[in-house]
Amino acid sequence: MTAHVPIYACQPLCFNQQRFRKDLETKPSVKVFKDAIAGVNEHFQNRFLESEDVRYLVSERAVFIDVLLHYAWYQNSFDDDIALLAVGGYGRGELHPKSDVDILILLDESADGKYAEELQQFITLCWDMGLDIGSSVRTISQCVELARNDITVATNLQDSRRICGNDLLRDQLQTLTSSTHMWSASEFYHAKFDEQIERHAKHNDSEYNLEPNIKNSPGGLRDIQTIHWVAKRYYGVKTLGQLQNKGFFTEYEFGVLHSCETTLWRIRYALHCVAGRPDDRLLFEYQRELAQIFGYEDNDKGLAVEQFMRTYYRAVLALRELNDVLLQNLNEKIHERDHEPNIQQINANFQLHDNYIEVTHKKVFAQNPSALLEIFVILGTTPSIRGVRTNTIRLINEHRFLVDDNFRNDPTNKQLFLQLFKSGQGLITQLKRMKRYNILGRYLPAFGKIIGQMQHDLFHRYTVDDHTLLVIQKMCNFSAPDAEQEFPIAAHILKRMDKPEILYLAGLFHDIGKGRGGDHSTLGAEDAITFGQSHGLSSGDIKLLAWLVQSHLLMSYVSQKQDISDSDVIHEFALKVGNQRYLDYLYALTVADMNGTNPDIWNSWRASLMRQLYAETKRALRRGLENTIDQADQIEDTKQQALNKLKDKHVSTDKAIALWQDMGDEYFLREGHNDIAWQTEAIIEHNSDTPLILVKDDTSQQWGGATQVFIRVPDQGNIFLAAATVFAQLGLNIHDARIYNTNSRYTIDTFYVLDENDQPVEDGSSKQQKIIDALIQELSFVTKGEYSDVIKKRTPRLLKQFPIPTRTKMQTPEGASFTTLEVISPDRHSLLATIGRIFMEYDIQLCNAKISTLGERVEDVFFITDQNGDPLSDDKLCEDLQRAICQELDQQVEQSQ
């Protein structure tokens, strides 16, 4: 049969078509096809590793698949009323190693239903030979109807080309789906532009996600394809190369487009090879191997993977800028067809053209370089302006070399830059624009060095520059109407802040020192001082700015790592802050920084800790830093407020006081009077030796933010292990644990927990009762010396990619009655239950715990004693305990891989 099949006209260099035809005559067809694919795949792989131009490989692979489909098609007999078309990326002649092979089987109206059996055999053969076929079978009229109503279908058909069959069918389809019959150039442009906006939003509208989608993320391959689609629709051409010298792009822009597309194609090609499937996500597990493939090595510039990702980020940033320019250019051409432009003069340098800003003449930037900053000030203070005209963006790109030392030292430019930071809500849009046009990085060279700088760890989710702008965006959002509900204190602070521009500048500089070695806070503070002095800030503003940059981690550290119910901790923090103004600025900066670092960091519990620290520090500042709180007075005041609450509930004062005799001072120092009254009333009413367990949603309390679980049981060890096990079983995460040693035979523990979505358990819900029932059951096991097994779950994917070993630190503070054990480790399911079991095995008594989970990293502090209630003094015991914790936690990760 093969002898009657025409030889495919285009002969791929890697494929012997004559031998293939001969094999089809003598061997099983599926095996022949499979062997051909395997051989060519290996051939392409070797050529790629030898650094052959990826464009040849992608194109030649498409031609090779054309040949296979040609011969698969002719395994059956077809008339002239059918055609096999390549569509989508395959239709453009672009095929990466694991890309889908998208085809359309196009039928004449008279052939509808004619070839059911033959087409089933054809598609089955394609699948059997190992091709990932995406197929559809439609008549011309069906295609036209679908394309008329679906922009995606219309786009795919625009890229179609014939492989086999009657080419006149494709020509007819192309005519009926052209812009003269449907989706005019204007309609097509706006539909694809809206599609791009929606796609970008799904990826946080950022080029800099740490695990970006190389195809769909902003600046990715889909953005390039969008340029192709809309330009070809408007100009009626088949390739972008045909648009040279037609005013659509400059020679430089075409070079950037070609170069960056090549970079992304090489990465995507290698990604498909490494992943072994059509995955376009640059996941952490692939990034290291890709960096190695492309020859990056760890050095003083950073890790190999960070250097590789920086290459990617630079490419997509350039493509995002080019996408803006070219789509804007086309939009202008489309609208210029429809009406005469509306021109409004702004000043000697700029005018509005249909509400887009543009220069008044081509020599504006050459004659007045300050206009390179002035344009962003105008945009920032005039939110009604829709954007920048293409000709002006191109002039900015051509003249940005003028932003040099002389430019930076010009007083006019310094004032313009400061003026931009007073533009409020318009600030962040202009900073992003300035970064994209490479003005911001040139004006502040230190910022230019952090553009695309990745932080390859579990904690930071964005590159340094993207995080920086996200922090400023969060700050600006504090002034939005809906911020009062989510960020009430920050919103209130920003309303009455005298110089919000200092806050925004602190956001700009807080991480600018990263990647240089040394303490980035100190380096950033030095840069901030230099900036403030050169830009004419007052000495007071410079001092505030530098202090904020130097101390930007202080408030989050104190709120999460120290006991903020301790008046001494509050006093020490207040001393470092000094006054209310500094406290306000630091609070706003810290909240924005936490929200802009990792979306998992900010939750109701951390928000409550920040609010509590802010309020207590504010109270200390009002009282005066020389007037410290006497602990005895604090205890007495708390007791009296609790008694007043109990009186309102008709609870006996004598019974309450008698019960409190067995409580230690720490209980009244750490617990609020509302909780003390609630717990006291319940204990008196319980009046039994059985466990008392109380659960409530703490959001109704002053600070709120978590579900509070109170446990009171006759004194027995390992309550922490029992509780941690139950919480792990129920999918609850401990965020704070307070263990009190009373003078009676009872143990009192208070836990603050959130569910797996970082939400409190709803008051009165069935899950609250499940917590109580599960704890009672587990505690009954404990009395018998039995414990439920610690639940083990599969280690999260990200954790496997960052095998950071567990670290511990143990010390006994001078004069303390306990030893502190700090555990720093990647977070995982049942971590606290595992540590609790190790404490039990080593006869360790837990007095208190400070639980702090920062994204996927935990930094927990445990206050422990030996079985006699004394600090740990046995060096061997301390070593063995720390070794056991490290080994057990790290083995959990290894065993689950």
Contacts of 678 (CB under 8 A, 6+ apart): 694, 696
Express each pLDDT in 101-111 by its tens digit: 999 999 999 99
In terms of domains, do 333 and 304 share one?
Answer: yes
pLDDT at 232 over 70: yes
pLDDT at 636 over 70: yes
Q: Are 710 and 580 in contact (CB under 8 A)?
A: no
Q: Is residue 136 part of a domain?
A: yes
User: Which two three-digit tokens encode residue 863?
Assistant: 């206050």
User: 843 or 586: which carries more pLDDT confidence?
Assistant: 586
CATH number at residue 775: 3.30.70.260
**Kind and range of the H or E element at 745?**
none
- Last residue of some domain: 672, 705, 729? 672
In terms of domains, do 718 and 848 share one?
Answer: yes
Q: Could you tell me the pLDDT band of residue 738, with boundaries at 50, 70 and 90?
A: confident
Phi–psi pair at 551, nearest 5 degrees = -110, 20
For 218-229, what is the mean pLDDT? Answer: 94
Closest CA to 269 of 154, 440, 97: 97
For 542-547, what is the mean pLDDT? Answer: 98
User: Which two three-digit tokens encode residue 244?
Assistant: 């040279």
Q: Enumerate the β-bridge partners of residue 737.
A: 751, 849
Express each pLDDT in 415-427 by its tens digit: 999 999 998 889 9
Q: Enumerate the β-bridge partners of residue 425.
A: none
In this predicted structure, which of 124-128, 174-178, 752-756 has the lowest mean pLDDT? 752-756
For 228-257, what is the mean pLDDT? Answer: 87
In terms of domains, do 398 and 274 share one?
Answer: no
Closest CA to 776 of 731, 733, 723: 723
CATH number at residue 392: 1.10.110
Closest CA to 141 of 173, 164, 119, 111: 173
Q: Is residue 518 part of a domain?
A: no
In terms of domains, do 98 and 206 share one?
Answer: no
E-assigned strand segments in 323-443: 343-345, 350-353, 356-359, 387-388
Q: Enumerate the β-bridge partners of residue 498.
A: none
In terms of domains, do 643 and 701 share one?
Answer: no
User: What pLDDT is stored for residue 895 in this prediction?
Assistant: 53
User: What pLDDT is stored for residue 537 in this prediction?
Assistant: 97
Q: Are 716 and 638 in contact (CB under 8 A)?
A: no
Express each pLDDT in 156-165 by its tens digit: 999 999 999 9
Q: Is residue 557 part of a domain?
A: no
Burial 877-891 (b: 16+ CB within 10 A, else e): ebeebbebbbebbbe
In terms of domains, do 748 and 868 share one?
Answer: yes
In terms of domains, do 664 and 772 share one?
Answer: no
Contacts of 260 (CB under 8 A, 6+ apart): 224, 315, 316, 318, 319, 322
Closest CA to 589 of 524, 534, 518, 517: 524
User: What pLDDT is stored for residue 457 in this prediction?
Assistant: 59
In terms of domains, do 30 and 178 share one?
Answer: yes
User: What pLDDT is stored for residue 798 in this prediction?
Assistant: 58
Q: Are 170 and 144 in contact (CB under 8 A)?
A: no
User: What pLDDT is stored for residue 700 in this prediction?
Assistant: 44
Contacts of 854 (CB under 8 A, 6+ apart): 459, 560, 598, 601
pLDDT at 375 over 70: yes
Q: Is residue 601 part of a domain?
A: no
User: What pLDDT is stored for residue 743 in this prediction?
Assistant: 67
- Last residue of some domain: 308, 338, 368? 338
Range of the domain at 383: 340-430
Q: Measured between alpha carbons, how far is 583 from 589 in angstroms, rounded to an integer?
A: 10
CATH number at residue 262: 1.20.120.330
Closest CA to 440 of 406, 465, 476, 457: 465
In terms of domains, do 658 and 732 share one?
Answer: no
Express each pLDDT in 560-594 by its tens digit: 888 888 888 899 999 999 999 999 999 999 999 99
Q: What are the percentages of helix, strand and coil residues in the chain, rounded to 5?
A: 55, 10, 30
Query: HSE-up of 95 (CA within 13 Å, CB side)?
Result: 22
- Last residue of some domain: 152, 183, 214? 183
Q: Is residue 285 part of a domain?
A: yes
User: What pLDDT is stored for residue 863 in this prediction?
Assistant: 87
In terms of domains, do 822 and 687 share one?
Answer: yes
Average pLDDT, the chain: 89
In this predicted structure, which of 419-433, 500-514, 738-752 has the lowest mean pLDDT? 738-752
User: What pLDDT is stored for residue 295 in this prediction?
Assistant: 93
In terms of domains, do 129 and 260 share one?
Answer: no
Q: Is residue 616 part of a domain?
A: no
Total tally of structural domains belonging to the chain: 5
Q: Is residue 447 part of a domain?
A: no
Q: Could you tell me the pLDDT band of residue 663, with boundaries at 50, 70 and 90?
A: confident
DSSP 760: P
Q: Which long-range contacts link 494-500 to residues 24+ away (Cβ below 8 Å)? A: 494/588, 497/584, 497/585, 497/588, 498/581, 499/541, 500/422, 500/424, 500/475
Express each pLDDT in 31-86 by its tens digit: 999 999 999 999 999 999 999 999 999 999 999 999 999 999 999 999 999 999 99
Q: Is residue 438 part of a domain?
A: no
Q: Could you tell me the pLDDT band of residue 793, with boundaries at 50, 70 and 90?
A: low
User: 535 or 569: which carries more pLDDT confidence?
Assistant: 535
Q: Could you tell me the pLDDT band of residue 763, with boundaries at 50, 70 and 90?
A: confident
Which burial class, exposed, middle or buried, applies to 340 when counting CB atoms under 10 A from its CB (0-12, 13-18, 19+)?
exposed
Q: Are 458 and 859 in contact (CB under 8 A)?
A: no
In terms of domains, do 668 and 755 share one?
Answer: no
Q: Could you tell me the pLDDT band of residue 666, with boundaries at 50, 70 and 90?
A: confident
